[in-house]
Structure 1
Amino acid sequence: MFFLPTDLDDYIVAHTQDEPQILKDLTRETHQKVLQAIMLSGAYQGRVLSMISHLKAPMRVLELGTFTGYSALCIAEGMPAGSELITIDINEELEDLAGRYFARFCESANHNITITQKVGPALDIIPTLEGKFDMIFIDADKPNYINYFHAIMEKVNPGALILSDNVLWHGKVVETVNPKDNSTPILLEFNQLLKEDPRLQTVLFSIRDGLTLSRVL
């Protein structure tokens, strides 16, 4: 989903750091083998995730929604040696594809980190995770966004960053809601929740399909 004219969007991408070769390879394989490849974060948003991660340098990251692993790899770029990223997805069919790229990334000389994949419902897995996190990326099924938020708030360190994807939902957040639409009402409530929660400092960015950055106070 593009919220800027295509020529402006192309200009922005052209003047942003290029994605690494591993991500180009993953993008190509995802488009060749996986339905709904549009779910990839994409080169521009990926560079934003990488930049935020480099600035934060988180030791522990939790991602909800692995897909084929693109966003996890972008975040992993900014994580220090010895850090850990846990990524959860309900789709076991994509586990091996993402896992191959995670292994390739972690085996490289510059990325001495651990990426752990967990398959299953995130709401069942989150309570079983020990310790707390410095960064969380929410990019899973939209009807559960509020449930995910309440679950992860038990798992964040002070100063942690919470990134929430697809919060503009193809522009539907400013349109009349279809009575059969189960996602938009939740995202409307979720966006308001992030803005009003006194534990957070929140900014919504019009990056791709909307990306919210919240800082835990």
Structure 2
Amino acid sequence: MHFLPQKIDDYIVTHSENEPQILKDLTRETYQKVLQPIMLSGSYQGRVLSMISHLVAPKRVLEIGTFTGYSALCLAEGMPDGSELITIDINEELEDLVERYFKRFRDPDSYRDTNNNTTLTQKIGDATQIIPELEGTFDLVFIDADKPNYVNYLDLIMDKVHSGSLIISDNVLWHGKVVEELDPKDKSTPILLEFNKRLKEDPRLQTVVLPIRDGLTLSRVV
């Protein structure tokens, strides 16, 4: 979804860093083989995630919601030598596709920003059950999974971050529904409204909402 005029959006994309070939290939395969390919982060948001990762240089990243691995690869681009990315998704049917592209990421001939010492780990299952079992803390957390659990994910990750950690939340504008009259049958929008309110009011967080694609929130742990 575009929140800017189409011509302006196109101009921004044209004048931003080009999408690496491996991600173009992943996008093509996702649209050919996977239901709801629109769930991909997409070229522009992917470049934003890559830029943020390069600026933060996180040594440990947790992603909640893998899908086909596009955003994980973008985040991995900026991670330093010897770092670790853990990504969680409940859909085991996409596990082999994701792993195939993770292997390409480690190949220096496939990815210009590759880091062969970066560990990319998929965990398949319910993130609300997996997150409490993870040890240590994370420098960056990306939330992009089922919307009804967004508040639950926030509660669970606050014990897994430290001062200076960055929490990135996707789809926070939810196709503009956050400013529209609520549909009584809509289960996701009320949760996102509560989630956005929590991010704004939590004294442990410094938060800014960016109108990128379907809304991207950056929250720094103070």
Query: TM above 0.5, one fold?
Result: yes
| Aligned residue type for 2:115 | H
| Aligned residue type for 2:221 | V
> 5+ residue gaps in structure 1?
none
> 5+ residue gaps in structure 2?
none
Counterpart of 2:159 (choices 151, 154, 157) is 154
- Within 1, Cα distance between the matches of 2:156 and 2:87? 15
Partner of 2:215: 210
Taking structure 2 as the reference length, what is the TM-score of the superposition?
0.96
The DSSP-based 3-state class of the residue aligned with 1:107 is coil
Q: CA deviation at 1:155?
A: 0.3
Partner of 2:12: 12
Partner of 2:119: 114
Match status 1:141 vs 2:146 = yes
Match status 1:185 vs 2:190 = yes
Q: CA deviation at 1:108?
A: 2.5
- Within 1, Cα distance between the matches of 2:108 and 2:66? 21
- Within 2, Cα distance between the matches of 1:100 and 1:111? 16
Contact 1:51 1:78 (C-alpha < 8 Å) held by counterparts: yes
The DSSP-based 3-state class of the residue aligned with 1:176 is coil
User: How many pairs were matched up?
Assistant: 217
| Aligned residue type for 1:83 | S
Taking structure 1 as the reference length, what is the TM-score of the superposition?
0.99
- Within 1, Cα distance between the matches of 2:107 and 2:30? 21
How many percent of aligned residue pairs carry the same amino acid?
75
Partner of 1:176: 181
Task: Name which of structure 1's ranges 156-165 and 109-118 shifts more when overlaid on structure 2.
Answer: 109-118
Q: CA deviation at 1:107?
A: 3.1
Contact 1:106 1:114 (C-alpha < 8 Å) held by counterparts: no
- Within 2, Cα distance between the matches of 1:88 and 1:103? 17
Partner of 1:58: 58
Aligned Cα RMSD in Å? 0.8
Contact 1:67 1:94 (C-alpha < 8 Å) held by counterparts: yes
| Aligned residue type for 1:38 | I
